[in-house]
Amino acid sequence: MLPAVLAGLAIGALTAANVGPIWLLCLRTSARFGWKPGIAIGTGAALVDFAYAVLGALGAAALLQVQALRIVLGLAGAVVLVVLGIRTLHAAYRIRLGAEDDGEVVSPRAALRTGIIATASNPMTILTWGAVFSGAAVAQVADTSASAWAFVAGIAVGSWSVHAILATIGSRIGSRIGERGLRWTDIVSGSGLVLFGSALGVRTLYDR
CA pair distance 49, 155, nearest whole angstrom: 7
The alpha helices in the chain, defined as continuous H runs, are 2-17, 21-33, 35-57, 67-94, 108-120, 125-138, 145-174, 178-206
Q: Which of 40-54, 63-77, 143-157, 189-203 has the highest mean pLDDT?
A: 40-54
Under 8 Å between Cβ of 185 and 174? yes
Q: How confident is the model at residue 148 (pLDDT cuts 50, 70, 90)?
A: confident
Q: Are 77 and 198 in contact (CB under 8 A)?
A: no
C-alpha span between 63 and 66 (Å, rounded): 6
pTM of the model: 0.77
Indicate if the pLDDT at residue 145 is higher than 60. Answer: yes
Cα–Cα dist 50/56, whole Å: 10
Residue 138 burial by Cβ neighbours in a 10 Å radius (0-12, 13-18, 19+): exposed
27-39, pLDDT tens digit by residue?
Answer: 888 988 899 999 9
Residue 51's domain comprises: 2-206
Specify the higher pLDDT residue, 174 or 73.
174
Domain count, the chain: 1
State pLDDT tens for residues 153-191: 888 999 999 999 999 999 998 878 877 777 778 888 888
Q: What is the pLDDT of residue 35?
A: 92
Q: Quote the CA–CA distance of 17 and 31 in Å, as a whole number.
A: 17
Q: What would the mean pLDDT of 115-142 be, rounded to a whole number?
A: 71
Q: How confident is the model at residue 68 (pLDDT cuts 50, 70, 90)?
A: confident
Give the residue among 133, 135, 113 at the shortest CA–CA distance from 45. 113
How distant, in Å, are the alpha carbons of 96, 115, 136, 187, 189 from that of 24? 20, 11, 29, 11, 5
